[in-house]
Amino acid sequence: MHIAVVGTGYVGLVTGTCFAETGNQVTCVDIDANKVARMQAGEIPIFEPGLDLLFERNTRQNRLHFTTDLQSAVDKAEIIFLALPTPPGEGGAADLRYILGVADDLSRMIKRYTVIVDKSTVPVGTSEKVHAALARHLSEDLFDVVSNPEFLREGLAVDDFMKPDRVVIGTSSDRAKKAMQHLYQPFVRQGNPIIFMDERSAEMTKYAANSYLAARITFMNEIANLCERVGANVDMVRIGMGTDTRIGKRFLFPGVGYGGSCFPKDVQALAITAEEFDYDFAMLKTVMGVNERQKGVLVDKIRTYYQGDLSGKTIAVWGLAFKPNTDDIREAPALAIIDRLLEEGVRIQAYDPEAMENVRQSYGDRITLTETAYDALDGADALAIITEWSAFRSPDFDELRSRMKETVIFDGRNVFDLDEIGQEVQYYDSIGRHVMKNSSRSDQ
Ligand SMILES: NC(=O)c1ccc[n+]([C@@H]2O[C@H](COP(=O)([O-])OP(=O)(O)OC[C@H]3O[C@@H](n4cnc5c(N)ncnc54)[C@H](O)[C@@H]3O)[C@@H](O)[C@H]2O)c1
């Protein structure tokens, strides 16, 4: 099939590349001319494991193309995916300006029957708005609008797209349904379902899934905070409860709050949808409040350790991306934590395997970004671990001890085993577990 994907970010580029991988002719469109030029030159503008192989193969085999010219992509396309940003607008609701703007453009460009698929995360009722925007200049028998929310996770996006747990498709048109079924068939050969439903339910499914996951993390963060107070170990509690098949093991890891480009804005957007429909979604409000508070937990621990005075301290930060295996720093808890530490007069020396360039653009010289994880430790009073990159899990502790002023670690992701770390450093405080103090290491 001939496909156009409008918006070539984390979702659009993965979507386009994976559809090319299954033999389709794909044109990816973006308004960012610089980004398009880089992709035309064979460069991938984001970090996403495994994407390079597919990108290279499909551009080489002439199935994957990039352009800023929407009309040329539309002329060929049987299906057009909208993978455009839906950031929080004024008041926090999803801003539909990008989606409706492109829908308006399409209404003047489409000349034969085309399926318009909304892949962005959008509030209930958006497909009707997109339909209305298209119908302004286009006969209704020349298009159908489908809601096809995307569930991929950054860092695992290629795998998630190639082997999805399920594909959700919201449409009331048989013609569009057939086209979507045909397109997605190669991705569900192992028997995972393509679930057809109405447009509103599809739109709601995405928000329900993300809000539930955010709530699950938030619940565990509350359990962890309570574990600290009652002297329990959240690691054991997590395993003890997660092995119940009704609960399941995934998404039970406590930390310094959820972040990223999706959970915060999607939880907020769903809360606003509830308000618009006069429903008091009390739980969502609590989730948002608790998550904000959780971003302060590590700073509180650091402040308490230094008896309220952080000025002049140097703190090394390991991990800036909102989670491992991505360079994405949108709404990353690390940034909230760094901002608070800077306000209290701390000097920050930070390292992340992939997110440094993005952080440099927003922080300039307000923090020091180092070449390696160990360089961040030079002369540091303490280390704060904020993103659980695998590379941080087994450091060379001799090196760490030789670089830091004192071996004091605040771990926002429970990266280390308590007994082992207790042997290695002077002071170790994590989330929902006992504080480890090692007096034999104090005199280094
Ligand atoms: N990132 C994720 O993990 C993820 C997962 C599932 C769903 N989503 C949803 O998918 C949507 C896209 O997210 P993303 O992370 O890929 O966004 P992104 O910001 O990475 O990418 C959006 C792209 O759209 C381009 N763009 C903006 N206006 C345009 C226009 N008029 N024409 C062409 N291109 C235009 C931008 O230049 C950018 O390259 C959002 O609704 C998001 O909530 C994201």
Q: Using CA atoms, how far apart are residues 318 and 388, in angstroms rounded to an integer? A: 8
Which ligand 1 atom sits closest to the C-alpha of 153? 3
**Residue 90: pLDDT band with limits 50, 70, 90:** confident
Q: Is residue 440's pLDDT more than 90? A: no
Mean pLDDT across the stretch 29-36?
98
Average pLDDT on 306-320 reads 97
The atom number, within ligand 1, closest to the CA of 35 reads: 39
Q: What atom in ligand 1 is closest to the CA of residue 86?
A: 41
- Residue 327: CB within 6 Å of ligand 1? no
Residue 400 Cα to ligand 1 midpoint, Å, equals 39
CA angle 73, 79, 80 (to 5 degrees): 55
Measured by CA distance, the residue closest to atom 4 of ligand 1 is: 11
29 ligand 1 Cβ < 6 A: yes
Q: Is the pLDDT of residue 253 over 80?
A: yes
pLDDT digits (tens, 9 = 90+) for 155-197: 999 999 999 999 999 999 999 999 999 999 999 999 999 999 9
| Residue (of 146, 78, 136, 71) closest to 112 by Cα position | 78
Q: How confident is the model at residue 126 (pLDDT cuts 50, 70, 90)?
A: very high
What's the rounded mean pLDDT across residues 58-80? 98
- 136 membership: H or E segment, kind and range: none
Distance 93 CA to ligand 1 centre (A): 16
In order, the DSSP letters of 63-124 are -EEEES-HHHHHHH-SEEEE-----B-GGGSB--HHHHHHHHHHHHH--S-EEEEE-S---T
Rg (CA), the chain: 24
The tens digit of pLDDT for each residue in 398-410 reads 999 999 999 999 9
How much is the average pLDDT of 262-284? Answer: 96
* pLDDT at residue 80, rounded to an integer: 98
Which tokens in the block code for residue 346? 């701390």
Say yes or no: CB of residue 384 within 6 Å of ligand 1.
no
- From 29, 31, 72, 81, the mutation candidate for ligand 1 (largest count of ligand atoms within 8 A of CB) is 31
Q: DSSP per residue over 290-301, as a string?
A: HHHHHTTHHHHH
The residue contributing the CA closest to ligand 1 atom 21 is: 9
CA-based nearest residue to 424, from 387, 396, 405:
396
Does pLDDT of 131 surpass 90?
Answer: yes
From the list 62, 70, 118, the residue with the least C-alpha distance to 94 is 118
Give the residue, by CA position, lying nearest to ligand 1 atom 43. Answer: 121
* CA 57 to centroid of ligand 1, rounded, Å: 23
Residues in the chain: 444
How many whole angstroms from 194 Cα to the centroid of ligand 1?
Answer: 23
Asked if residues 145 and 134 have their Cβ atoms less than 8 Å apart, the reply is: yes
Mean pLDDT of 74-92: 95
pLDDT reading at 82 higher than 90: yes
357-374 mean pLDDT = 96
For tokens 């009652």, the residue is 230
Give yes or no for residue 262 CB within 6 A of ligand 1: yes
Q: Look up residue 224 and give its amino acid.
A: A
- 3-state SS of 335-348 is HHHHHHHHHCCCEE
Residue 444 pLDDT greater than 70, yes or no: no
Q: Is 254 left (phi over 0), alpha (psi -120 to 50) or beta?
A: beta
| Residue 131 near residue 95 (C-beta atoms within 8 A) | no
How far is Cα 7 from Cα 4, in angstroms, rounded to an integer? 10
Q: Which of 122, 150, 267 to mutate to test the pocket of ligand 1 (most atoms within 8 A of CB)?
A: 150
- Phi, psi angles (nearest 5°) of residue 368: -95, 125
pTM score, whole prediction: 0.95
Task: Decide: 421 and 405 in contact? Cβ < 8 Å.
Answer: no
The best mutation among 66, 262, 268, 327 to test binding of ligand 1, ranked by most ligand atoms within 8 Å of the C-beta, falls on 262
Q: How far is CA 248 from CA 157, 227, 244, 252, 407, in A?
A: 22, 20, 6, 9, 36
DSSP state of 185: G
State the sign of the Cα–Cα–Cα–Cα dihedral 260, 323, 31, 176: negative
Measured from the CA of 119, which atom of ligand 1 is nearest? Answer: 10
Position 261, amino acid: S
Known catalytic residue at 18? no
206-294 and 297-441 agree in CATH topology:
no
Best residue among 5, 6, 8, 10 to mutate for probing ligand 1's pocket (most ligand atoms within 8 Å of CB) is 10
- Say if ligand 1 is within 6 A of residue 121 CB: yes
Taking all residues of the chain, what is their mean pLDDT, rounded to a whole number? 97
Residue 126 CB–ligand 1 contact under 6 Å: no
Whether domain 297-441 has CATH 3.40.50.720: the reply is: yes
Stretch 233-245: mean pLDDT: 98
- From the CB of 223, is ligand 1 less than 6 Å away? no
Class of domain 206-294: mainly alpha
Mean pLDDT of 87-105: 95
Phi, psi of 421 (to 5 degrees): -65, -30
Query: 2-197: which CATH topology?
Result: Rossmann fold (3.40.50)
Query: For residue 5, what is the DSSP state?
Result: E
- Is the CB of residue 164 below 6 angstroms from any atom belonging to ligand 1? no
Q: Is 326 in the pocket of ligand 1 (CB under 6 A)?
A: no
Residue type, 158: V
Q: Domain ranges in the chain?
A: 2-197, 206-294, 297-441
User: Closest by alpha carbon to 82, among 56, 50, 114, 60?
Assistant: 114
> What number does the ligand 1 atom closest to the CA of 120 have?
41
Strands in 225-265 per DSSP E: none
Question: Which 8-state DSSP code applies to residue 182?
Answer: H
* 315 neighbors 384 (Cβ within 8 angstroms): yes
What per-residue confidence (pLDDT) applies to 441? 72
Work out the angle at residue 121's Cα, subtended by the Cα atoms of residues 220 and 352, and round it to the nearest 5 degrees: 55
Question: Is the separation of the CB atoms in 30 and 36 below 8 Å?
Answer: yes
Task: Name 67's bridge partners.
Answer: 29
Percent of the chain with pLDDT over 90: 98
In 3-state terms the chain splits into helix, strand, coil percentages (rounded to 5) of 45, 15, 40
Decide: 27 and 68 in contact? Cβ < 8 Å. no
Q: What pLDDT is recorded for position 442?
A: 60
Q: Give yes or no for residue 45 having a pLDDT over 60.
A: yes
Mean pLDDT of 279-292: 98
**Average pLDDT for 91-118:** 97
Q: Is 218 in the pocket of ligand 1 (CB under 6 A)?
A: no
Q: How confident is residue 443, by pLDDT bands cut at 50, 70 and 90?
A: very low
Can you read off the two tokens belonging to residue 32? 């960012």
